[in-house]
Chains A and B, each alone.
Chain A
Amino acid sequence: MDLLRFITAGSVDDGKSTLIGRLLYDSKSILTDQLEAIERASKSRNDGSIDLALLTDGLRSEREQGITIDVAYRYFQTPKRKFIIVDAPGHIQYTRNMVTGASNCQLAIVLVDARLGVVEQTRRHSLIASLLGIPHLVVAINKMDLVGYSQDVYSDICIHYADLAKKLNAHQVTYIPMSALNGDNVVDRSTSMPWYEGPTLLDHLETVAINDESDGEPLDRHPARFPVQYVIRPQTAELHDYRGYAGKITSGLFRKGDSITILPSGATSTIEAIEVAEKHLDEAATPQSVILHLATDIDISRGDLIVRTERLPVTSQTVEAMLCWMDTKELKTGSKYILQVGTFRTRCSVREIAYQLNIETYEQIEGIDNLKLNDMAKVTLRTAQPISFDPYPKNRTTGGAILIDETSNVTVGALMLMGEV
């Protein structure tokens, strides 16, 4: 059985909680005692009806305010697939939390209120999904019950959204008209919209092809990447010469005998053995965690990147990236941070902000020299040591990086590395 991680962003008003509640409830994933707890809490709030948002908003302050502030993770499974729901906030002031949640997802559900159509929030959520490289988009046109289940309303929104999708270069967009409140087209097929012939939301989630990258190439043609996490050296009498490089294959496939290059040093060697749980394999592929043994003794430590020599990543000290700023302290041009890509860390400075991206109008604003919490921008960075990566649109795992504040130690920025300058 395989695993799909998908994100849905929004708050009670958007119908997100109802949608998640509906998915869990209709797929029989809410257990009796959890439902009873929600019923009790709903009653104590004096509003009578069962508030499914209480299921998803896990923090006291979220329940008090009736909004989602941080990401929560929900788990459910059907006979066909396992799912992780990344339940994210929708408000603009919590954009960084949505970005955090989106980074690992293969599919995003963008909620559209059928009465309102495509609005700022739709544009913002769609942009984040697209910048974070989520391959599949589902446009959930919700609250169809409030527009009389009208096909015209649905078609108008689809046309309107297709325009947006073109601007975002989004390829795989699926439109589903639904009423999460009444359960239309969430798990069960709607009888009120006979004109809709596509899948229900759950049908789609169960059958969509899970591919992390959008280019669809076979695995062994992907660039092979292995950031070294830890060096295993038992130094016992019987394993005196044992030296294994532990890590997770973040892209592609390695075979015994492959010629490899170690970055940033550029040293070369070949793979002598691939080990998993004290057994030897002929080959291993992403996302396996393995131990690599090399034919020659070279200096390798945490932070080094082992790659197959036939397809090298970009290695550079001056790089362009899309940046989501995540700290309340402003970023100013020239500021210095620690950059982490894979397991490698180096200092860097933000040389230039090419433009800030308005995340609702998609307008590029030039002449900016500082960024505030939740701002998105195209930036140029200069690193103390060369970094090795693949452009983010080609590889989300090896092209993603974070910025860490040297004094507070907090993660302050998310980078999607685009290329060298």
Chain B
Amino acid sequence: MNYLDQLESESIHIMREVAGQFERPALLFSGGKDSITLVHLALKAFRPGKLPFPLVHIDTGHNFQEVLNFRDKLAAQIGEKLIVRHVEDTIREKKLKEPTGRNATRNGLQTFTLLDAIEEWEFDACIGGARRDEEKARAKERVFSVRDEFGSWDPKRQRPELWNLYNGRIHKGENVRVFPISNWTELDVWNYIRREKIELPSIYFAHERELLIRDGKLMATAGGVIKPEADDQVVRRNVRFRTVGDISCTAASESKAATLDSVIAEIQATRISERGETRMDDQLSEAAMEDRKKGGYF
């Protein structure tokens, strides 16, 4: 059996385990390629039935407009429920202090909104599009990752996970983060998108836009999220985004690749990893991701 078929079947199996084992699951949807792939897999797992979970988006208020439009269009197209919760509301209600300064991002504040949403809707399982090849702490995490009532991941207390048996039994207040595409690589996702003809937001393909060059990275000026400083050079370039996160922490790649084939060819040829090229938030320390996960992050 072809490896993409194997990976697809494994992911569908995991999604169905979620539906079979939990009362109130949710699929965390960001509008990025990985969560779009998750939606596609969920449709394969449950059609012609309805999805047994809503799509949930934690909106930092710093998202690309193209991605938000795509999110709404996709939810309408498939006729499934979309829940959006805003980090701005959490900041206001909880009087959270927003990070300020040069490379400030709301990425860390997302966790508060996510945990509130989990409480509000009593979600017992949240499906996410994290992959083990992304980052070294993620390479250690189980497919069913049990989180305590504070959302914390404890790497020393991970449950054994054998064969294709997943144990989703939890106490009230705990929840499980489930990662159906754990075993996919970045390239697997792209090849699958090509094979299945999955539509993506336009910012994944080369387009011209205004950016500023900061610390050697190309950051979008869209929405005024990043405030230009004196030494930032503002430029217009042909770029595409290799990952789609917050405007504040996602760098663009210079590119002329306007089609899926040419994007995949570029990713195949690159010698820099996905998060290394595009994410400012992982580069803070050697254990940045591990620490965020312990704090309840995805």
Contact = CB atoms under 8 A, between A and B. Distances in A.
Nearest to A409: B169
A302 B155 CA distance: 31
A400 B162 contact: yes
Interface stretch (B100-108, B199-207, B239-247, B270-278): B270-278
Nearest to A232: B49
B45 to A, nearest CB: 7
Given A72-B136, A72-B140, A74-B139, A233 B159 contact: no
Nearest to B274: A31
A402 B160 contact: yes
B185 interface: yes
B20 A229 contact: yes
Interface in A394-421: 396-397, 400-402, 404, 409-411, 414
Contacts of A414: 160, 162
Interface residues of B, number: 57
Contacts of B135: 58
B116 interface: no
Q: In which size bucket is the chain A interface?
A: 35 or more
A289 B286 contact: no
A183 B52 CA distance: 51
B48 to A, nearest CB: 5
A229 B136 CA distance: 32
Contacts of A340: 165, 167
A247 B19 CA distance: 11
Interface in A179-237: 229-230, 232-234
Interface string B11-45: 01100110110000000000000000000000011
A77 to B, nearest CB: 8
A37 B286 CA distance: 8
B14 to A, nearest CB: 10
Interface of A: 1-3, 31-34, 37, 41, 55, 57-61, 63, 69-75, 82, 84, 96-97, 99-100, 103-104, 229-230, 232-234, 239, 242, 244, 246-248, 250, 276-278, 287-289, 302, 326, 338, 340-343, 396-397, 400-402, 404, 409-411, 414
Given A58-B290, A229-B16, A402-B162, 14 more contacts: A31-B270, A33-B277, A55-B136, A58-B137, A58-B139, A63-B286, A84-B183, A229-B13, A229-B20, A248-B9, A287-B6, A289-B16, A326-B160, A402-B160
